[in-house]
Structure 1
């Protein structure tokens, strides 16, 4: 096969191309932002708080400091969060909007990648099919180090393919920059880079491109983007490496078993997308389903996309088992950027007729079910008083800020205490409140204990967190103020929860 220089491979133009493709592609493309809006509302309906684990508020309080690295992870997702809330209000709905936009950016990347091998309408259909997977819907709503890769990996793969196909220097520079951004999202992105390297080495034309002088531009662009973080790592003695190392360990059989479970979970994540693609088939859907399943184990059906689709899973298996890592299924949520394009390309090569126009009807049904289920989940959580639905994080923050302003006439400068509660006080603010970790101050080096004494701070602890109350009392040397805070949801006032507030007044003069 010759080295392609256009959007499609010579000699393999899809047999289902139509003259009216642009007029069909435009309304299909509009379904993607509608999908993002639907899932913003779905998340808002189903969740009384951002996430129980507190990852999303942690993103913000870290990112607001604009550091080149943080104690647990590299900085990309924290930067994105901080930048978003420079523009949008500090509300749950706006945060869910960020999550949905991140997923939308990834879906557009999948469409762009598919467009290197397929006509536009089928490339968009591939993106729509991926959109219904939990990876780009329900799981994507929790914006963190895993979900940020949903947007970065597809675009990295797109510019990789574009550079391999065309050799353009602009594509090489973009590839290097995006590969570095993937690493800045999560070190797990080494999986993507190894998989892309393997794909380049496996294809003769791509291998020649990889070994060309212009590939130095890829390395140069990546080095420029990574340099600030690498410098931070050296200056701070590689704290993120220590956090990552704590996620490894165990026995070889346990790691192999866990990888098997991981792989089964990935298959489960893709079931809805599989059904969506089969639903687009005009005739003989059983034959189409068999072809899709066969595409996973027969690279010859489409070698280029097969390497991109299956390569990351192979790399994950080698690394996970070799390092004895107990893989969490969500770690690989970004790795399937090329799988649906592979399915569609294989069907197209086999002259299986797809009708992308069906996507609108299928998505309308999907959206209606998603919104109804989300409302049911949210209402049930409120009636059962579960933590994710009833914990009054925003209400607590409002009470703390109001009390501080009443006592001082100023905006609250610093929040500390129990991590989730203090970080919530930082997030649900006017952007001026910073977070300090009283239990592990080394993780928030941008503030010192003397800053709290000089600027003033509120230490907030749930009544149930006795360790926090003791630590806050010992640190602040002030008497606590007890408050009860309740959340209102679905027309109900949920049971109140009690907190202890330690107000450290700012020094005068």
Structure 2
């Protein structure tokens, strides 16, 4: 307690007579309502963490999840295998304007995180002003959600920006009950569902929170919730139709998380809560230091806070409790990273419900902590990480993506003399070759009967295809070689690759390449097989029987 009073006295003294080095920060805090402080913070956030990614992963390729989103986004569709289509749409739109480079997609990931924080600020400014708005963002920047989780842009990370946007629109629809905000709430809720079906917990939390709000009668007797429902279902209709026409493959993929072991699911659900607690631990400790002895007023401040702030708190509780209960009831696994996009629902009510003044001293210190962590990460941790991974490698083989793509493309040109159109084999290697090869072949995903990616109509097995497997991956080697033998003439080559970082040699791995020659004899049996496969319709191609037949299926 004496330490707390000492900090409180220091904070008040600093606000009255700030040290010279604090004055630029004070001017920055004064610019919040003028409209330039938050954009400056977010621009610095994107810059430093994009630099971190560029340094930490120099010499290595992008994460397979990011390459997968790019593969989906190469053509527009109302649905893709494994997940709903939003992540593919975002990456496709981004790469239509930016080059196909690592830094480009790293910038996309950090821009998505900054956009998420901007939408959080839209919510916070409805309840507080001044540097308390910045404090909400700074506390969120102390969680791993907006840097490390965000860098792996996938179906989880795409929700970072969508959830606060949907929450903001729902809040405005609830407050105003205006038709336009009701439509916006429905559309953004459907957008969240198109990001990942896990968002059903957010939508359900909206409904449950509205039911316990003091103004629930006024809201549910108005047209607002029904307009939102109609707009959301209308926006989801093309995807629902796609699911009905294609066998609902993303739904079946989601069902793979269902388990029969109740105790394992209970343990996963408990770890879900512990993981979330660990994710907010640094931010929570920082908030305790800021609030000091005033932390005892938290429950009283929450009880007397704006009813709409309580609404957000109830949404936060719903997005944690509902998946926890559902996971136990359905016996599914539940990683905590699935819920990281909802951490803002905790930060906004806690900070914005405070009835006391928070000295600038604390906000400046929080900003210094955030900046210090980012600088240390970019200047010290990133180079160490790059050096370590260069020598020890990644499980998925990211060290070798560039070299594997170059060698396979060169080998294909030497053997076949045509551009490489289709690549498959090991999932991560196939996705990497599709992205990093100068030919940018389409990834056909012919391995492990997992799921099938659509290929353009003009890309057929008759044009030949290649596949890569690691030499110690027996299942990939066996399956791909059997498929290559069925397709006709093929060449098998072994490739040795060593990673390199700024000329420093690193880990080494051996790959096996399969090259199936383009078919030039229309009357041959192999040509007949390829023609048959090229004409296989989407329903048949996605059936379990077709996959287990060991055929290379081209999907439209």
Asked whether the two chains share a fold, i.e. TM above 0.5, the reply is: yes
| Number of the residue aligned with 2:493 | 481
Residues in 2 aligned to 1:300 and 1:394: alpha-carbon distance in whole angstroms:
58
Change (3 A) 1:150 1:109: same
Of the three residues 410, 417, 422, the one matched with 1:414 is 422
Tell me whether 1:107 sits opposite 2:117 in the alignment: yes
Change (3 A) 1:360 1:26: farther
**How far does residue 207 in structure 1 lie from its aligned partner after superposition?**
4.4
Tell me whether 1:464 sits opposite 2:472 in the alignment: yes
Change (3 A) 1:305 1:495: closer
* Superposition map of 1:77-88 within 5 A: 77-88=87-98
Residues in 1 aligned to 2:237 and 2:217: alpha-carbon distance in whole angstroms:
27
| Number of the residue aligned with 1:256 | 266
Tell me whether 1:437 sits opposite 2:435 in the alignment: no
SS at match of 2:341: coil
* Superposition map of 1:314-393 within 5 A: 314-347=321-354, 349-353=355-359, 355=361, 356-371=363-378, 372-387=380-395, 391-393=399-401
Change (3 A) 1:20 1:145: closer
| 8 Å Cα contact 1:255/1:320 also seen in 2 | yes
SS at match of 1:143: coil
Of the three residues 148, 166, 169, the one matched with 1:138 is 148
Change (3 A) 1:440 1:71: farther
**How far does residue 487 in structure 1 lie from its aligned partner after superposition?**
2.2
Change (3 A) 1:361 1:389: farther
| 8 Å Cα contact 1:262/1:327 also seen in 2 | yes
Change (3 A) 1:206 1:158: farther
**How far does residue 50 in structure 1 lie from its aligned partner after superposition?**
4.9
More displaced, 477-486 or 177-186? 477-486
* Superposition map of 1:66-465 within 5 A: 66-119=76-129, 121-278=131-288, 281=290, 285-291=291-297, 294=299, 299-301=303-305, 303-347=310-354, 349-353=355-359, 355=361, 356-371=363-378, 372-387=380-395, 391-407=399-415, 410-429=418-437, 432-440=440-448, 443-444=451-452, 446-447=454-455, 452-465=460-473
Change (3 A) 1:450 1:220: closer
Residues in 2 aligned to 1:108 and 1:448: alpha-carbon distance in whole angstroms:
37
| 8 Å Cα contact 2:162/2:191 also seen in 1 | yes
**How far does residue 276 in structure 1 lie from its aligned partner after superposition?**
4.1
Which structure 2 segments of 5+ residues have no match? 1-26, 522-556
SS at match of 1:486: strand
Which structure 1 segments of 5+ residues have no match? 1-17
Tell me whether 1:506 sits opposite 2:506 in the alignment: no
More displaced, 213-222 or 401-410? 401-410
SS at match of 2:372: helix
Of the three residues 36, 42, 47, the one matched with 1:32 is 42
**1:260-289, CA deviations, whole angstroms, 9 ceiling, x for partnerless residues?**
22112111111222244456x4xxx42244
| 8 Å Cα contact 1:481/1:501 also seen in 2 | yes
Change (3 A) 1:400 1:210: farther
Please report the RMSD computed on the Cα atoms of aligned residues, expressed in angstroms. Answer: 2.9
**Considering only CA atoms, is the larger Rg found in Structure 1 or Structure 2?**
2
More displaced, 158-167 or 468-477? 468-477
**How far does residue 432 in structure 1 lie from its aligned partner after superposition?**
4.3
SS at match of 1:80: helix
